[in-house]
Amino acid sequence: MNETKFERYEFQPFIIEAVKKLGFYEPTEIQERLFPTLLKGESAIGQSQTGTGKTHAYILPILQKIDPARNEVQAIITAPTRELASQIYQEILKVTECCQEGEEITARLFIGGTDKQRTIEKLKIQPHIIVGTPGRINDLVKEQALFVFKADMLVIDEADLMLDMGFIEDVDQIASRMPEKLQMLVFSATIPEKLKPFLKKYLENPKYIQVEPKQITAAKIEHWIMPAKHRNKINLVFDALSTFNPYLAIVFTNTKKKADEVADALIEKGLKVGRIHGDLGPRERKKMMKQILDLEFQYIVATDLAARGIDIQGISHVINYEMPSDLDFYIHRVGRTARAGFSGIALTIYEGSDEDALNRLEKMGIEFHHTDLHKGSWVKLDDRNKRKNRQRKTDDIDKKAASLIQKPKKVKPGYKKKMKWEMDKIKKRERRIKRK
């Protein structure tokens, strides 16, 4: 096999073999910047755009530092959702399967919705790496089934989402039982004020690495907007999906109730639709993710839970049934498509009340294609700001008319009415000239 640019970090042979199998040739920007810090055992806070190779930025250095001869927990990786924890775990297994015989590194996944008693029984032999949701890991620690007091590496992935979902307290309890000299790696799309006390408690002079996106969303995403115009939005989504005929499409809604409503309506129209939201029970959720990953569905309806961290391969189209109230989630949603160099289309169905949000996204550098469906074909619409631009021209006419009409030195009763009549006459003349 050809050499890769990962060799320069002196990773162990099994890691280099795995990297080649995974088809990685060159580290991403966040990997290049994090590898030296993490391999030296230093703590770090990483901020980067979704789909930048963040997971392998910490997986590879952690695996490099694990001692297979020590039968104890050496690293803990926490994630806010079961799906994200499962994905991280699967990525670790892809690397550890290349370990030499007798030097195997063991990893275990601990998430809610699984039999806790059976999990405790299997912990008679402690794994080297633990991946899971903070609540379940903390439960096992409290039950004295999981021993974390010698684990000196802790990863907190999607820390801002962890905070939103109320899991930081569990993470705090896990961290407080770990060694004082703890290497902590925190990854977060944003660093909210409420997260700072926790970071200050555990991190002393961490390396702060922020990878600014070269552009706010992936280069190969086309951003389309379609006006709702008081039409039935379910019908619009159905027509858009039918016209796109996607490899795999994900439709985002803002609430669980709306996700069910949209999914049920699309199923009634004959589409096979999967759904992801917080109200699914553990078994349902696990089964749904398996069906989605096995490509049993061409269409998925989801809430923003799926916009962060869940990596579903091959999403060619994203449809925003409604604009998210937090515009960061627009970026996370559309980031599900056009991954790993592929192209994708993100369509947003917008209402008049979304104008301000669209303007703010445009100021962030997103260029929208204004479009609509007509008899099963996409048609290009005029720039939605055209009316505003036309209004500006009218303002210019107003200014010109005002400059030509002078207020009389001696005012007589009714002079304002006479001035307005004169101005209207000039405006009409100017508009006729512009139309010619």
Domain boundaries, the chain: 7-211, 221-380, 400-435
Q: What is the model's pLDDT at position 392?
A: 46
Q: Is 0.85 surpassed by the pTM of this model?
A: no
Q: Is domain 7-211 classified as CATH 3.40.50.1970?
A: no
**CATH number belonging to domain 221-380:** 3.40.50.300
Q: What mean pLDDT is predicted for residues 178-192? A: 88
pLDDT for res 185: 94
Buried b / exposed e over 25-63, threshold 16 CB at 10 Å, is: eebbbbbbbbbebbbeeebbbbbbbbbbbbbbbbbbbbb
Greatest mean pLDDT among 211-225, 258-272, 293-307 lies in 258-272
pLDDT over 70 for what percent of the chain? 86
Average of per-residue pLDDT across 359-365: 81
- The distance from CA 311 to its chain's CA centroid, rounded to whole angstroms, is 10
Buried b (16+ CB within 10 A) or exposed e, 145-179: bbebeebbbbbbbbbbbbbebebbebbeebbeebe
Confidence check: pLDDT of 244 > 60: yes
Largest CA distance in the chain: 105
- To the nearest whole number, what is the mean pLDDT of the chain? 85
| Residue 58 vs residue 284, higher pLDDT | 58
pLDDT at 258 over 90: yes
User: Which amino acid would we find at residue 145?
Assistant: A
Question: Which pLDDT band, with edges at 50, 70 and 90, does 1 fall under?
Answer: very low
Which pLDDT value is given to residue 243?
Answer: 93
pLDDT at 182: 92
pLDDT at 219: 62
Q: Which has more pLDDT, 414 or 346? A: 346
Two domains, one topology: 7-211 and 221-380: yes
Q: Does 406 score more than 80 pLDDT?
A: no
Average pLDDT, integer, range 125-132:
96
* Distance, CA of 244 to CA of 347 (rounded, Å): 11
324: its two tokens = 């998210």
Q: Please state which of the ranges 25-39, 177-191, 215-229 shows the lowest mean pLDDT.
A: 215-229
Which is more confident, 122 or 128? 128
pLDDT for 253 beyond 80: yes
Q: Which residues pair with 250 in a beta bridge?
A: 300, 318
Question: Could you give the CA distance from residue 156 to residue 33 in angstroms, rounded to a whole number?
Answer: 18
Note the pLDDT of residue 279: 78
Nearest to 164, CA basis, from 210, 195, 122, 128 = 195
Please report, as a single letter, which amino acid is at residue 272: K
Helix residue ranges per DSSP H, 113-232 = 116-122, 134-142, 159-164, 168-176, 196-202
Is 109 a residue whose pLDDT tops 90? yes
Rounded CA-CA distance 278/307 in Å is 13
Residue 299 has pLDDT above 90, yes or no: yes
Check whether 31 has a pLDDT greater than 80. Answer: yes
* pLDDT score of 341: 61
What's the pLDDT score for residue 44?
A: 94
Q: Is 350 exposed, middle or buried (0-12, 13-18, 19+ CB in 10 A)?
A: buried
Cα–Cα dist 330/346, whole Å: 10
The confidence score (pLDDT) of residue 142 equals 94
Band (pLDDT 50/70/90 cuts) for residue 218 is low
Q: How many residues does the chain have?
A: 436
pLDDT-derived band at 400 (thresholds 50, 70, 90) equals: low
More confident: 105 or 87:
105
| Beta partners for residue 187, in sequence order | 46
Lowest-pLDDT choice from 54-68, 195-209, 222-236: 195-209
Residue 285 has pLDDT above 70, yes or no: yes
- Measure the CA dihedral 327/333/338/343, to 10°: -80
Measured CA distances, 282 to 112, 134, 278, 285, 289 (Å): 7, 16, 10, 5, 11
